Amino acid sequence: MSRVTAPITAPSPVPTTRQSALPLRGPRSGGLARRAGLVFAVVWLLLLTALAASVQWLPIPSYDEIVGAPFQPVFAPDAPLGTDSIGRSIFSRAIYGARASLTLGVVAAAISLVLGGLLGLVAGYYRGVMETVVDLCSEVVQAFPAMLFLVALAAAIRPSLATLTISMAVLMVPAFARMMKGAVLAQTGREFIAAARAQGAGPIRIMFREILPNTLMSIASFAIMVTATLIVIEGSVSFLGYGIPAPQPSWGGMVAESQSQLATHPAAVMIPIVFLFLTVFALNAMSDWLRARFDVGQNQI
């Protein structure tokens, strides 16, 4: 008499605590928050750039024109954001300060991107003596603290928007050189570079036709972040009194002029701080989006 046995089946997997604790709506909500931040960043930067570029043609007073009594409140008839310690429009001075900060940040970042990008591209491709020289020069420049260098420069020559722009561009050249060199080193061992060499492409074509286009997005993301850093540095130097000279406005200088009245008239101090904060936040949000959108291994939003 034969015995009939039931087939043995494997037990169904039991969900673990880690699996059950995973959020169901986390990625979607995170993506929505990132999109909202990106939309705000784009709108704020476009609006601020348009106002700063056309400030001379807008129906607002000049930055040194007295429009009323000192420290008028927000929403005053002649000054929508109030007046400062001598009766100048805070809104007008904030927009003129935006023009100075954006010009300095964008121009200095562009100069340092071109110079540092070329140095890093050549050093990363040729290596050897060229790489050693670029690394040594970068270490020498980066050995000087940026704030101390700018203060010493202001003590030696009269500070202006042009001198601050050039000096900050020089300070940021090593950062772009190192960034570009690392990107080039990551590209030189890939298959399309070997294919280009096998087809007889020379170094110039490989650097500018093969390597450079594949590093533009990462360099652009880094350039936007550097622009935000330069705006913060300019505001800090102007707050210390070594930046853009008065009466030309800057956000840091506006804070320094009214800091003693913070307890009684906080708007004169907080408004330029808000402008600076929102601009730096918007630039960092755009930089983060570019890095997440185009870097390998990052999820698209």
Write out pLDDT tens, residues 153-190: 877 888 888 889 999 999 999 999 998 998 888 887 77
296 has pLDDT over 50: no
| Cβ pair 273, 251 in contact under 8 A | yes
Is the pLDDT at 58 greater than 90? The verdict is no
CB neighbour class for 79 (10 Å; exposed up to 12, middle 13-18, buried from 19): buried
Count of C-beta atoms within a 10 Å radius of residue 235? 27
Rg of the chain in Å (alpha carbons): 27
Has residue 21 got a pLDDT over 70? no
| pLDDT tens digits, 75-110 | 877 788 888 888 899 999 999 999 999 999 999 999
Under 8 Å between Cβ of 239 and 56: no
In angstroms, the Cα distances linking 43 to 49, 194, 230, 294 are: 10, 43, 21, 21
- The string of pLDDT tens digits covering residues 114-166 is 999 999 999 888 888 888 888 888 888 888 777 788 888 877 888 888 889 99
Summarize the confidence of residues 289-295 as an average pLDDT.
79
* DSSP state letter for 206: I
Contacts of 182 (CB under 8 A, 6+ apart): 120, 124
Give the model confidence (pLDDT) of 60-73 as tens digits.
888 888 888 888 88
**Given pLDDT bands bounded at 50, 70 and 90, which one contains residue 276?**
very high
Q: How far apart, in whole angstroms, are the C-alpha atoms of residue 224 and residue 86?
A: 36
Handedness of CA 200, 206, 209, 215 (dihedral sign): positive
Of 12-16, 29-33, 222-226, the range with the lowest mean pLDDT is: 12-16
What is the Cα–Cα distance from 272 to 270, expressed in whole angstroms?
A: 6
Q: What is the DSSP string of 21-67?
A: TS-SSHHHHHHHHHHHHHHHHHHHHHHHHHHHHTGGGSSS--TT-B-
Q: What is the sign of the dihedral through the CA atoms of 176, 179, 181 and 184?
A: negative
Q: How confident is the model at residue 28 (pLDDT cuts 50, 70, 90)?
A: low
Query: Is the omega angle on the peptide bond into residue 59 within 30 degrees of 0, that is, cis?
Result: no
Query: Any idea what the Cα angle at residue 189 is, between residues 188 and 193, rounded to 5°?
Result: 60
Question: What pLDDT does 16 receive?
Answer: 43
Least confident of 37-46, 52-61, 71-80, 281-290: 71-80
pLDDT of residue 53 exceeding 70: yes
